[in-house]
Structure 1
Amino acid sequence: MAAPLSARTRVLAVDLRNHGLSPHADAMDYESMAEDLRELLDAQGIARARIAGHSMGGKVAMAFALRYPGRTEALAVLDIAPARYHDHFSALVCAALRLDLGAARSREEADRQLERFVPSARLRAMLLQNLVWRDGRLAWRIHWLGIGGSMPQLLGFPAGLQRAPSAIDALFVRGGASDYVLPRHEDTIQRLFPHSRIVELPDAGHWLHADQPTALVQLLGEWMAAPAAAELPTCLSPGAAGWPPRHAAAPLRP
């Protein structure tokens, strides 16, 4: 998605903690990952950005928008809601950890091992993207133990971030063949993001970018080109950290 969209504007493709080449950590929750994103934007000198995320990344995007509305120009959330989900993922973590990488002399051999636990070729291909060669042998660059140990936090969405709504313009995209954003989620979405709309992408499951890449790029391109909402001072943004203030501010001095 980043390649075609970067023809329009600058795009950062973010590896969250425990993914890609990002640092590993045993603790992994949405408040921490929202802070990781803030630190990245600070390091890049970006004061305000449009934030888009899919699945777990969508929850990180929502957490950031609720925590830092003054730094969020617009929000796009792909096939996820601010809700708790059933655990369909721990089995994949366990499957990855059961691979005998010392006996795998190629990605094809690792794929054959993984096929015993993961019948879907698409899911196996996604998992095997995280294999790299180190010192002449295959190794995981993803921190499976950190992800698996944090699964209870990752399946939910923090109650502390649901106390105040965000005034950010938000686009929610759900797959027409997906069950991740259901009618029962719409009230919560509208409560937390009153300026939101939900668009359905036909013939797409949860992996929107794999099922309908052209349609998704077009939709995100239109979202990126739309005028941004006027920026509010962070201290006046609904849901900003430290808002409402606990005490009156000191008088201004010349």
Structure 2
Amino acid sequence: MKLHSNIIGEGKPFLILHGFLGMGDNWKTLAKKFADEGYQVHLIDQRNHGRSPHTEEFSYKLMAEDIQEYCKTHNLEEIILLGHSMGGKTAMKVAVMFPELLKELIIVDIAPKYYPPHHQTILEGLTMLSDSELTSRGEADEKLQEYIEEWGVRQFLLKNLYWKEKNKLALRMNLPVLKEKIENVGIALEENEIYPKQTLFINGEKSGYIKEEDRDLINKHFPKSNLATIKGAGHWVHAEKMDEFYEIVIGYLKNLA
């Protein structure tokens, strides 16, 4: 699986994995800031997302293997791996399957527990867009508004639009497979999967994805973990409170250097 990526900067390899229905480019602004600190940032599109290949298969085991293969292809060792939401689940799986690959692990607003499917309305809206003859991004936003009120969420999703041909917009993600395999997005780490090295979890105070009662489970799978909470932030903590998020990550990495 040859994953698409955008590589920014030179230095220590720093891989960032986006969330469900996202793409690497969602992290471009932060990637430039990390690159200025001496990191080579790899903004990766996971399978069935962005410009990476579409496949019928979609699981965290496969996506972790994709990252291992990516590191081999690019001769990367001792990587810093950061994942948000679905990307955080992939990063956890990489850590327990290929711990030798990692120097640092950062998980953003997701726990190693099971999450029931909760993207149904978003997937309905995207299906409607996919079935429509779209000729402008404004038209797509207007249609999507019937399903999703939050402007920020719509803008995040509309980044998936591209000009498939003249005057015809289409979505980059593999929507049919993502809908079919939606149950796989929320699966938990297996009981015996443990990553013994240092891990930083970051969550948004208002998010609800990591609850107080999840701490024990996090510590069970990641016994050397710390949790940093960003006040006033929701699930897209890195976008909502970018400066605070950046300072926490850089501070953590510099302390361990």
Partner of 1:62: 92
Give the letter aligned to residue 179 of structure 1. G
Would the aligned equivalents of 1:65 and 1:168 in 2 still touch at CA under 8 Å? Answer: no
Equivalent positions of 1:114-153 (< 5 A) are 114-136=144-166, 137-153=168-184
Distance 1:139 1:50, change over 3 A: same
Are 1:90 and 1:151, in contact at CA under 8 Å, matched by a contact in 2? no
Residues 1:196 and 2:225 are matched in the alignment: yes
Deviations 1:81-120 (A, max 9, x none): 0011132212211210112665322100111111111121
Instruction: Quote the residue 2:111 is aligned against.
Output: 81
Distance 1:100 1:178 in 2: 29
Candidates 42, 47, 51, aligned match of 1:12: 42
State how far apart, in whole Å, the 2-side matches of 1:118 and 1:110 are. Answer: 12
Q: Separation in 2 of the partners of 1:102 and 1:163? A: 45
Q: 2:124 aligns with which of 82, 87, 94?
A: 94
* Offset, 1:67: 0.7
| 1:148-186 Cα distance to aligned partner (Å, 9 max, x none) | 111111111242xx3142112000011111111111211
Q: Confirm or deny that 1:42 pairs with 2:72.
A: yes
Larger Rg: 1
Letter aligned with residue 206 of structure 1:
H
Render the CA deviation track for 1:101-145: whole Å, top value 9, x for unaligned.
653221001111111111211111111100000111101111111
Counterparts in 2 of 1:219-238, with a 5 A limit?
A: 219-227=248-256
Q: Is 1:178 equivalent to 2:198 in the alignment? A: no
Counterpart selection for 2:242 from 206, 209, 213: 213
- State the one-letter code of the partner of 2:202: V
1:223 and 1:19 mapped to 2: Cα distance? 29
Q: Is the 8 A contact 1:84 1:155 kept in 2?
A: yes
- Judge conservation of contact 1:30–1:158 (CA < 8 Å) in 2: no
Task: Please state whether the residue corresponding to 1:198 is helix, strand or coil.
Answer: strand
Partner of 2:5: none
Matches of 1:76 and 1:102, distance apart in 2: 38
Query: Contact conserved, 2:203 with 2:227, CA < 8 A, in 1?
Result: yes
1:34-58 residue CA offsets vs partner (Å, 9 max, x unmatched): 0011111111101220110110000
List runs of 5+ in structure 2 lacking aligned partners. 1-29
Q: 1:104 is matched with which residue: 134, 143, 154?
A: 134
Write the distance in 1 (CA, Å) between the matches of 2:131 and 2:143. Answer: 9
- Relative contact order (alpha carbons < 8 A, sep ≥ 6): 1 or 2 greater? 1
Aligned length: 226
Q: 1 or 2, which has the higher strand percentage?
A: 2
Q: Name the TM-score, length of structure 1 as normaliser.
A: 0.85
State the match for 2:188 in structure 1: 157
| Unaligned ranges ≥5, structure 1 | 229-254
